Structure 1
Amino acid sequence: MIVLYHKYNKATLVDFNGKSIPFSGKSITENLFEISILYPNELIIWCHLDLKSNLNLSKMAAIFHHDKIMASYNVHKNSFLSDAIGYVEESPFIKVNQIVKYPTWLASSLVGGINASVLKLIGSKIKKDANFDYFLNSVAKSGMLAGLLCYSEPQLLVNCLPELESAQNNNYVLFRFVRQHYKKRWLILLLLNIFLFEKRILFAPFFYSLFFKTRKTIIVNLDAIAVKSTLKTIEKKTIDVIIPTIGRKQYLYDVLQDLAQQTHLPEKVIIVEQNPINGSVSELDYLITENWPFLIKHIFTHQAGACNARNLALAEVESEWVFLNDDDNRFDENLIENVFKRATQYGAEVIITSYLQPNEFQYYQTIHQSGIFGSGNSFIKKATLQNVSFDKALEFGYGEDTDFGLQLRNQGHDIIYFPDLKIKHLKAPMGGFRIKISKQWESDEIQPKPSPTILYMLQKHYTQEQLKSYKLVLFLKLLKHESIGNYFFFYKSFKQKWSRSVHWAKKLKEKKE
């Protein structure tokens, strides 16, 4: 392990396993890259000199448990790029929970680390910016798309943290970063968002950014770097499966047959059957009449709703892992076995699979940190679920999957997507026994826009900048379908619909509390 200490944007000491090694007088970025060439198999740590006594060297092996991990930690509330990055970033990666390990490409020069082999590959593709923070954020942003797992990691430091001067956010740097790492339209939206919501006109940073080349076209391939985690996330190798179902008797039977053919069988399959018709009974006779190679826990309820059903099932999980399945999925006999292999290889605690409908094309072919979560194609270590559940305020609405994934991340658990693990989602027609669910707002004279459940979820998890940008983008999308002569009526109508959505989102929050 090599540790580069720096201060005032210059390297002051390079320590290699307790011994000082020479370094050039170049920028920190160039020093790091030179080290990566000389020591291609070493873990490289950077640390501000004032944090030297706080550097938690004993935790480095656990933090960097395989070679495709980049981690850093910012002791300040504000990021290098400022909160305004939320105007262009829709993902869950920028509202960082600083008290847990959190997936994010927002990197800090204060303390962090990366394997030399990764730095050498990415550093050879992008400019070695003199601004160390800019370089690190660019490496993380580019690397994450190529399968580099990036984190904010508080365990990099220990004990009391000294007061360090927080970096001043720079609009020129912000616009340059957006220009180099996002599609061009986001640069215009950044300018527009800042004008509308902050009453500032930043033409100079905008035009300045146009002189820089995009880095989105740079192809980074990290496939040559093998992954073999030292972190053990599997011990008992047991798994339960949960399946909520309503009126899909034959589809569910096919799912059970796929589970029965697994080379690694589940211990228990928990089926929550819903039928909201009073006096109704189960139609799943084959649960009893046929023999299954696993225990079946069958819960029958008259209360409809996937959130409630999944919460009931989660309460019955006893195995080390749980497979969140759906009643119209199909998969091959090696699925569970291969999931455990991947979890072992990456030290993963939450895994999502490819989840395509028939005849859909699979665009994402790289293992990466996912910004989404699916309640029908996920494998989760039970220990991660202690403070997580499906939010019943989102029942019969939208956003419960996204909310569940964000709860997991805020508890310190990353979600890794593996494209070679495949589940086919048949997207079967709705089963019988369904009754029309009337939303509280359906009788409103002015119908809310967006859906109050979506806005409720966004308010829970988005930054203020992300929420404002969402509102602007929604407005522009709807505006495309309006004639110019109808603009003022549309603007007034949009404000009213948004106001009603805010009203009902507040009601959903109050109901939950």
Structure 2
Amino acid sequence: MEVWSNKIVSVIVPTIAKEGYLKKCLASLAGQTHPPEEIIVMDNSLDVRFRHEIVQTYPSIKLYSSQERLSYCASLNKGISKSSGDFILCLNDDVVLDSRFIAKALRGFLLDPKVGMVSGKILRRDEKTIDTTGLFLSCYRTAKERGYNFKDKGQFEQEGYIFGVGGAVGFYRKDMLEDIKEGEDYFDSDFHFFYEDLDVAWRARLAGWRGYYVPEAIGFHVRGGSVRNKAGIGKPYARRYLDDSLHLDLLKNRYMAIIKNESCLGFLLHLPCMFLYDLVLWSYILLFRTHLIKKFFFQLRYLRMAYAKRRFFRRIMKERSNFQKSKNA
């Protein structure tokens, strides 16, 4: 018997019942060689017929429906709070997993007790193009998906430590999520969509946790299945495919992640790169999305809230460190 066979895995799948993705996702979970203990679907479709169909087809899943559409992060938080697993697999509904994904990915956690996040090799549905082989923090202070949009030629077959995991297929140790929890939030609910995976990874790193990459754990992601403009489905994220609300999330969430997690020294060291990135970014907005500027100013309150969360998290980490020192004295 494999040493991880007794590890309980909970899967959280937020969905808005778009393009029929969920059924394929659930079918891939049902075929796992290490089946999850529970599959929790957070239904934001507001479609009673869809809910009935899913329950009839997959009677063993736990389906939670909301009377109002929750954000992606709020859905994950609610699902995680209801989960019972030792490990939490957060999936986009436009993901299909290889039958050995969970079994292979679990090994990454067992190599090191401080591994709190595991990424597999996530490909696009063409099975040739890389979606991600792990999340890294770029000098621009953006989330960088390693290998993104490259053809898979076996260049990422070496397992090893990474900064974090991408949000489409995020596999987490439950203890880590509890350790970095902010109030009732595992994922910062102010992020809604975009950069929530980087924020979790960054907080986890600050708390002493690590990420790990296991190339044998393979999944397939549509990439863009959550974009509301159908022209963007299946393509790399491009700004022209994002509606205004998603574009604003993309803007504010990067600043929030930096404010919450960046050290003063790190900010100064990376300021030239960040300046160049923002110069290009805001030039694009001035030329093509001028109407977003006014809307962005209404988002500034979130940046103040991010600073308050930074102070709270740093204080908790300091208190925890002081307690550990006194315990070891």
The amino acid across from 2:36 in the alignment is P
The amino acid across from 1:239 in the alignment is V
**Of the candidates 69, 77, 80, which is equivalent to residue 311 of structure 1?**
77
Partner of 1:219: none
Tell me the SS of whatever aligns to 2:257.
Answer: helix
Q: Describe the shift of the 1:258–1:315 C-alpha distance in structure 2 as closer, same or farther (beyond 3 A).
A: same
User: Is the contact between residue 353 and residue 378 of structure 1 (CA under 8 Å) also seen in structure 2?
Assistant: no
Deviations 1:201-258 (A, max 9, x none): xxxxxxxxxxxxxxxxxxxxxxxxxxxxxxxx95732211111111326211001111
- 1:453 Cα offset (Å): 2.1
Deviations 1:2-49 (A, max 9, x none): xxxxxxxxxxxxxxxxxxxxxxxxxxxxxxxxxxxxxxxxxxxxxxxx
User: Is the contact between residue 368 and residue 418 of structure 1 (CA under 8 Å) also seen in structure 2?
Assistant: yes
Partner of 1:364: 156
**Of the candidates 92, 96, 101, which is equivalent to residue 330 of structure 1?**
96
CA distance in 2, matches of 1:482, 1:268: 44
**1:376 pairs with 2:168:** yes
More relative contact order, 1 or 2 (CA 8 Å, 6+ apart): 2
Tell me the SS of whatever aligns to 2:43.
Answer: strand
Partner of 2:219: 423
User: Is the contact between residue 247 and residue 431 of structure 1 (CA under 8 Å) also seen in structure 2?
Assistant: no
User: Is the contact between residue 246 and residue 432 of structure 1 (CA under 8 Å) also seen in structure 2?
Assistant: no
- 1:329 Cα offset (Å): 0.8
Q: Describe the shift of the 1:472–1:502 C-alpha distance in structure 2 as closer, same or farther (beyond 3 A).
A: farther
Structure 1 residues 256-335: aligned runs within 5 Å: 256-275=26-45, 280-281=47-48, 283-291=50-58, 295-301=60-66, 302-335=68-101
TM-score, normalisation: structure 2: 0.65
Partner of 2:318: none
CA distance in 2, matches of 1:428, 1:351: 22
Deviations 1:99-124 (A, max 9, x none): xxxxxxxxxxxxxxxxxxxxxxxxxx
- 1:464 Cα offset (Å): 2.1
**Percent of residue pairs identical:** 20
CA distance in 1, matches of 2:70, 2:229: 10
- 1:505 Cα offset (Å): 5.0
Tell me the SS of whatever aligns to 1:372.
Answer: coil
**Of the candidates 331, 335, 354, which is equivalent to residue 121 of structure 2?**
354
Q: Point out the structure with the larger helix share.
A: 2
- 1:470 Cα offset (Å): 4.1
- 1:428 Cα offset (Å): 4.8
Give the structure with higher Rg (CA): 1
- 1:290 Cα offset (Å): 2.2
CA distance in 2, matches of 1:368, 1:403: 21
Tell me the SS of whatever aligns to 1:395.
Answer: coil
Partner of 1:464: 264
Partner of 1:250: 20
Structure 1 residues 59-74: aligned runs within 5 Å: none
The amino acid across from 1:289 in the alignment is Q
CA distance in 1, matches of 2:44, 2:228: 10
Structure 1 residues 362-441: aligned runs within 5 Å: 362=152, 363-387=155-179, 388=181, 389-396=186-193, 398-430=194-226, 438=245
CA distance in 2, matches of 1:285, 1:432: 24
Q: How many residues align?
A: 257
User: Is the contact between residue 190 and residue 302 of structure 2 (CA under 8 Å) also seen in structure 1?
Assistant: no
CA distance in 1, matches of 2:229, 2:280: 39
- 1:260 Cα offset (Å): 0.9
CA distance in 1, matches of 2:220, 2:32: 16
- Unpaired segments ≥5 residues, structure 2: 130-150, 231-242, 284-292, 313-329
CA distance in 1, matches of 2:74, 2:279: 37
- 1:381 Cα offset (Å): 2.4
- Unpaired segments ≥5 residues, structure 1: 1-232, 443-447, 484-495
- 1:430 Cα offset (Å): 3.7
Q: Describe the shift of the 1:502–1:416 C-alpha distance in structure 2 as closer, same or farther (beyond 3 A).
A: same
Deviations 1:423-474 (A, max 9, x none): 111125347799x7759x97xxxxx9x9232112112111223324544224
The amino acid across from 1:299 in the alignment is Y
The amino acid across from 1:296 in the alignment is I
Q: CA RMSD in A?
A: 4.0
